[in-house]
Amino acid sequence: MFAKSFVATFFIALIFTSCNSQSSGVKNMGPDEFEKGIAKPNVQLVDVRTPDEFKEKHIAGAVNINIDGSDFEKQLNALDKNKPLYVYCLAGGRSKKAASAASKDGFTDVNNLETGINGWMGANKPVATANGEAPKAGMSFDDYLAHIKNPDKLVLVDFNAVWCGPCKVLKPIVTRQIKKNSEKVDLIEIDVDKNPKVAATMNITGIPLLILYKNGREVWRSMGLIDEDLLSGKLKEFAN
Ramachandran region, residue 35 (left: φ > 0; alpha: ψ -120 to 50; beta: rest): alpha
Q: Is 3 helix (H, G, I), strand (E, B) or coil?
A: helix
Q: Are residues 146 and 116 part of one domain?
A: no
Q: Are residues 160 and 106 part of one domain?
A: no
Q: What is the pLDDT of residues 28-78, one digit of tens each?
A: 999 999 999 999 999 999 999 999 889 888 999 999 999 999 999 999 999
Q: 44 Cβ partners below 8 Å, 6+ apart?
A: 63, 79, 80, 83, 84, 85, 86
Residue 238: which of 148, 144, 174, 156 has the closest Cα? 156
Could you say which DSSP state residue 184 is in?
A: T
Q: 50 Cβ partners below 8 Å, 6+ apart?
A: 66, 68, 163
Model-wide pTM > 0.75: no
Asked if 170 and 226 touch (Cβ cutoff 8 Å), the reply is: yes
The pLDDT of residue 188: 96
Active site members: 164, 167
Q: Are residues 219 and 115 part of one domain?
A: no
Q: Are residues 145 and 115 part of one domain?
A: no
Q: Are residues 118 and 20 part of one domain?
A: yes
Is residue 132 a part of any domain in this protein?
no
Is residue 164 a part of any domain in this protein?
yes
Is residue 133 a part of any domain in this protein?
no
Is residue 49 a part of any domain in this protein?
yes
Q: Structurally, how many domains does the chain consist of? A: 2
Q: Are residues 96 and 42 part of one domain?
A: yes
Q: Are residues 174 and 81 part of one domain?
A: no
The pLDDT of residue 17: 39
The pLDDT of residue 158: 97
CA distances from 223 to 127, 137, 220, 226, 233 (A): 27, 25, 11, 8, 16
Find the CATH number of the domain harbouring 177.
Answer: 3.40.30.10
Is residue 134 a part of any domain in this protein?
no
Is residue 135 a part of any domain in this protein?
no
Could you say which DSSP state residue 49 is in?
A: S
Find the CATH number of the domain harbouring 33.
Answer: 3.40.250.10
The pLDDT of residue 24: 61
Query: Which of 92, 122, 152 finishes a domain?
Result: 122
Q: Are residues 154 and 91 part of one domain?
A: no
The pLDDT of residue 5: 47
Longest dimension (CA), the chain: 76
Domain span at residue 49?
2-122
Given a cut of 80, is residue 20 above it in pLDDT? no
Segment of 20-29, 118-127, 154-163 carrying the highest mean pLDDT = 154-163
Q: Could you give the percent of the chain with pLDDT greater than 70?
A: 87
Distance CA 85, CA 169 (A): 35
Query: Which of 89, 122, 155 finishes a domain?
Result: 122
Given a cut of 60, is residue 9 above it in pLDDT? no
Given a cut of 80, is residue 130 above it in pLDDT? no
The pLDDT of residue 87: 98
Q: Are residues 147 and 115 part of one domain?
A: no
Given a cut of 90, is residue 176 above it in pLDDT? yes
Is residue 93 a part of any domain in this protein?
yes
| β-bridge partners, 217 | 214
Q: Could you give the percent of the chain with pLDDT greater than 90?
A: 68
Is residue 136 a part of any domain in this protein?
no
Q: What is the pLDDT of residues 189-233, one digit of tens each?
A: 999 888 888 988 898 888 999 999 999 999 999 999 999 999 999
Interval 97-120 mean pLDDT: 94
The pLDDT of residue 134: 57
Distance CA 223, CA 211 (A): 9
The pLDDT of residue 204: 87
Q: Are residues 175 and 90 part of one domain?
A: no
Q: Are residues 105 and 11 part of one domain?
A: yes
Q: Are residues 16 and 112 part of one domain?
A: yes
Given a cut of 90, is residue 160 above it in pLDDT? yes
As a whole number, the mean pLDDT across the chain is: 87
Query: Which of 55, 87, 122 finishes a domain?
Result: 122
**Residue 119: which pLDDT band, with cuts at 50, 70 and 90?**
confident
